[in-house]
Amino acid sequence: MTPNIFFSRRIRKTPFEDRVYEQGVKGFTVYNQMPLATSYTTVEDDYWHLREHVQLWDVACERQVEVRGPDALKLIQLSTPRDISKCAIGQCVYAPLCDEDGGIVNDPLLLRFADDHFWVSIADSGVLLWLKGLAAGLSLDVEVSDPDIGPCALQGPKADAVMQSLLDIDVHTIKFFRFVEVELAGVAVVVARSGWSGQGGYEIYLKNASHGLALWDAIWEAGEAHDIRAGCPNLIERIESGLLSYGNDMTNDNNIFECGLDRFITLGKQADYLSREALDKISRDGTTIKLVNLEFDGGPTPPLRATWPVYAGDEQAGILTSAAWSPRLERNIAFASVGIEYANTGQALGVKPAGEPATREATVVPPWRGS
């Protein structure tokens, strides 16, 4: 028998949760102490629909950490090696947050509303308390809070058509990773061209959580002509699109060089940020492991509960961190963290799924995006 899930007040209710149940959610996980759907039909069927049509996702678990005040930019800039002075008002930037040891704390999207006002749209870790701790330790003049701003996402190739029917402005004026503050069906929202899939679309940030169902229903109604369905971040699609999951593919034990995210170090050598010394040192010394794309033989596997070992001959070469059977590519696709000597494209490796007696043949491959 499958155990039930039990959500109390401690797992914050999302503004859209009633609709998630009404749409027949099949699975849940917990993310930032909030529920997150994992499928509505099967992961595979959700995948095909996302690639062809449009889906409405409850991603309120992408909590917003709000940073306001005279030292807001200073605090944000301390937390990341990405140059935030280049982030315009109305822009979103992907900015890995790194601690003083170079470890990744989170990989959020930053939204800049004003010189002294940011949202940090977080992956699953305690960024609120980290930024509060940093600010308190440094006596910064800044307010760090966790307002109940529940994002939903509209993702898929038909997202533009649905959004256009809801807004007065031409949606093509909203460029990639830019946002506008508008009313949608009378509800005050922030609409950004962004989202955790490679299929295009929007994230819609609900400023007042009590209007969640009205917002959901308005988008749903506009989507009915376009085969809209309830959906959620899709394991197959996100691996194909090269989207890393914090907590799965990288943790606080990893640095951004190991994960191929060092291109986001855009601050100069003289800049003052928390991880500078550590990242400088790692840059000089190099890393011993690297995150790679992997394909492996055989049919679909059960989902990973934890990492699986990756072998080079009899030696353990690393760990597999996420995997899915792609019904389109007709193979298993995965991310793995392996020794740097095994990280070249074409490297032959072995993967041992939990509960299987033998290893399966695996190969390091280029990104699937666009394939």
What is the DSSP-derived secondary structure letter of residue 304?
A: P
Contacts (CB under 8 A) with its own copies, residues 206-245: 245
CA dist., res. 309 & res. 349, Å (int):
11
CB of 138 to its own copies, least distance (A): 4
From residue 34 to residue 53, the character string flagging contacts with its own copies as x (rule: CB under 8 A) and all else as - is: ---xx---------------
Stretch that binds its own copies, among 8-16, 57-65, 152-160, 202-210 (CB under 8 A): 8-16
- Options 248, 283, 347, 363; binder of its own copies; rule CB under 8 A: 248
Burial 199-220 (b: 16+ CB within 10 A, else e): bbbbbbbbeebebbeebbebbb
Q: How many CB atoms lie within 10 A of CB 322?
A: 20
Say how many C-beta atoms besides its own lie within 10 A of residue 7's C-beta.
14
**CB closer to its own copies out of 7 and 325:** 7
Q: Which is nearer to its own copies, 73 or 192 (CB)?
A: 73
**Which tokens belong to 218?**
């308005």
Of the two residues 192 and 324, which places its CB atom closer to its own copies in the complex?
A: 324
Cβ nearer to its own copies, comparing 13 with 226: 13
Instruction: Give bridge partners of residue 338 from the DSSP assignment.
Output: 290, 318
Binder to its own copies among 208, 252, 283, 363 (CB under 8 A)? 252
- Return the number of the residue (316 or 345) whose C-beta is nearest its own copies: 316
CB 37 within 8 A of CB 27: yes
- At residue 189, φ and ψ (nearest 5 deg) are -140, 165
Residue count (the chain): 371
Binder among 92, 110, 111, 134 for its own copies (CB under 8 A): 134
CA 279 – CA 300 distance, rounded (Å) = 38
> What are φ and ψ of residue 197, in 5° steps?
-150, 170
**Which residue among 94, 130, 177, 311 contacts its own copies (CB under 8 A)?**
130
Residue 190 or 310: the one with the smaller Cβ distance to its own copies is 310
DSSP H or E segment with residue 308: strand 308-312
Shortest CA distance to 17 belongs to which of 57, 65, 62, 63? 57
Strand order in the sheet with 150-155: 179-184, 187-192, 201-206, 150-155, 54-58, 228-231
Stretch that binds its own copies, among 57-65, 133-141, 291-299, 336-344 (CB under 8 A): 133-141
Residues 89-108 that bind its own copies (CB under 8 A): 99-100, 105
Select the residue interacting with its own copies from 70, 133, 300, 302 (CB under 8 A).
Answer: 133
278 scored as a contact of its own copies (CB under 8 A): no
Between 165 and 252, whose beta carbon lies closer to its own copies?
A: 252
Q: How many CA atoms lie within 13 A of 149 on its CB side?
A: 20
Query: 233 and 40 in contact (C-beta within 8 Å)?
Result: no
Of the residues 72, 92, 135, 267, which one makes contact with its own copies according to CB under 8 A: 135
Residue 309 engages its own copies in binding (rule: CB under 8 A): no
* Smallest distance from its own copies to CB 307, Å: 6
For residue 356, what is the DSSP state?
A: -
**Binding to its own copies by residue 23, rule CB under 8 A?**
no
328-357 residues in contact with its own copies (CB under 8 A) are: none
Q: d(Cα 242, Cα 331) in Å, to the nearest integer?
A: 16
Q: Considering only CA atoms, which of 181, 128, 141, 155 is closest in space to residue 58? A: 155
In Å, how far from its chain's centre is CA 199? 14
Least CB distance to its own copies at residue 181 (A): 26
Binding-site size for its own copies (CB under 8 A) equals: 55
Applying CB under 8 A, among 132, 193, 276, 290 the residue interacting with its own copies is 132
The correct pick among 114, 136, 169, 348 for binding its own copies (CB under 8 A) is: 136
Is the CB of 30 or the CB of 348 nearer to its own copies? Answer: 30
Positions touching its own copies (CB under 8 A) are: 1-11, 13, 24-31, 33, 37-38, 99-100, 105, 124-138, 146, 245-248, 252, 274, 303-307, 321-322
